[in-house]
């Protein structure tokens, strides 16, 4: 068998007998973490995490997103929201203890009911011109006529 170290998919392997000290492993791990988080805002929480931290519902967080300093991440019509926990806490305390959010707007009045169907206008059980009973009667007349003609 060949006892030479084989390279890994990510690059060459360490020569046989090389050991890393715990401090070196820790330094490598920190550097990798820094590279992975580079360019992304740190310390930001999503709506669910913010809701848990503030003791409110997730829906409440979305309703007050702008007041809480939401950062919109990504494009499109519904970008993800991220929040700085400290900024959101400051915003929440600056609202004042007696201030309440605005009550929900009154729902719009219902639209006019749809027009009544022809059968309901004529009354229950009454034939309607052009209705189902009228069509059935005409179909029966055509069948009778066709049988007479045959």
User: DSSP string spanning 9-35?
Assistant: TTBPPPPTT----HHHHHHHHHHHHHH
For the chain, the domains span 44-94
Report how far residue 68's alpha carbon sits from residue 13's, in angstroms, rounded to the nearest whole number. Answer: 49
Buried b (16+ CB within 10 A) or exposed e, 8-47: eeeeeeeeeeeeeeeeeeeeeeeeeeeeeeeeeeeebbeb
Q: Provide the residue-wise pLDDT of the chain in tens; the chain has 150 residues.
A: 555 555 555 555 666 777 888 898 898 888 887 776 655 455 788 999 899 988 899 999 999 999 999 988 888 888 889 998 888 888 888 876 544 555 555 666 666 666 666 555 555 556 666 677 777 888 899 888 888 877
Report yes or no on whether pTM surpasses 0.85. Answer: no
């Amino acid at each position: 068998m060949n006892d030479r170290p084989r390279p890994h998919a990510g690059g060459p392997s360490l020569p046989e007998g090389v050991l890393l000290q715990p401090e070196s492993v820790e330094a490598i791990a920190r550097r990798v973490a820094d590279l992975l988080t580079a360019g992304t805002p740190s310390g930001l929480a999503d709506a669910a995490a913010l809701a848990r931290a503030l003791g409110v519902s997730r829906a409440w967080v979305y309703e007050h997103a702008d007041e809480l300093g939401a950062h919109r991440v990504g494009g499109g019509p519904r970008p993800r929201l991220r929040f700085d926990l400290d900024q959101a806490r400051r915003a929440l305390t600056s609202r004042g203890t007696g201030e309440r959010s605005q009550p929900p707007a009154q729902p719009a009045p219902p639209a006019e009911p749809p027009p009544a169907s022809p059968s309901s206008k004529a009354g229950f059980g009454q034939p309607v011109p052009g209705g189902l009973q009228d069509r059935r009667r005409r179909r029966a007349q055509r069948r009778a006529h066709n049988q007479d003609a045959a």
